[in-house]
Amino acid sequence: MVIGVLALQGDVREHLHALNAAGASAIPVRRPAELAAVEGLVVPGGESTTMSRLAGVFGLLEPVRARIAGGLPVYGSCAGMIMLARTVLDGRDDQQSFGGIDMVVRRNAFGRQVDSFETDLAFTGVDGDPMHAVFIRAPWVEQVGPGVEVLARVDGGVADGRVVAVRQGNLLATSFHPELTGDLRVHELFVRMVREAAAGPTKDVQEKEEAVR
Catalytic machinery residues? 78, 177, 179
Across the strands, what pairs with 174? 77, 165
**Three-state SS for 206?**
helix
Phi-psi region of 107 (alpha: psi -120 to 50; beta: other; left: phi over 0): beta
C-alpha distances in Å from residue 109, one per residue of 70, 148, 162: 31, 20, 10
Q: Where are the alpha helices (DSSP H) in 22-177?
A: 32-35, 48-57, 61-69, 79-84
